[in-house]
Amino acid sequence: ELKVEQNPLFLSMQEGKNYTIYCNYSTTSDRLYWYRQDPGKSLESLFVLLSNGAVKQEGRLMASLDTKARLSTLHITAAVHDLSATYFCAVDSDMRFGAGTRLTVKP
């Protein structure tokens, strides 16, 4: 059965710093998704990664996928307060989610 693990589950960082969130999954998959959720809100799509070596960037966020290692990363560059949210990865065509990483960016 597919298992999706994210780490860290909680991340507190200062503005201006860089950090990486990791998403590991247990079975072969060629597609991975990253979503953002603000408190009390729904989820919005950030990235869709469809092949090994895929890299996508939007603003201060960059996502990559290594299907051989079954690993995706979400890299945050020069964090700002507006990035505070919970970030989820999801895998495969039936969208299995990780537990999420709650990110807090402090001034």
Judged by the rule CB under 8 A, the positions of this chain that interact with another protein are 6, 9, 31, 33, 35, 41-45, 48, 50, 88, 90, 93-100
Tell me the closest approach of the beta carbon of residue 19 to another protein, in angstroms. Answer: 20
Nearer to another protein, 98 or 103 (CB): 98
Nearer to another protein, 39 or 107 (CB): 39
Q: E strands within the chain?
A: 4-7, 10-14, 19-25, 32-37, 43-49, 55-58, 61-66, 71-76, 85-91, 96-97, 101-106
Tell me the closest approach of the beta carbon of residue 107 to another protein, in angstroms. Answer: 26
Cα 36 from Cα 5, distance rounded (Å): 16
Nearer to another protein, 60 or 96 (CB): 96
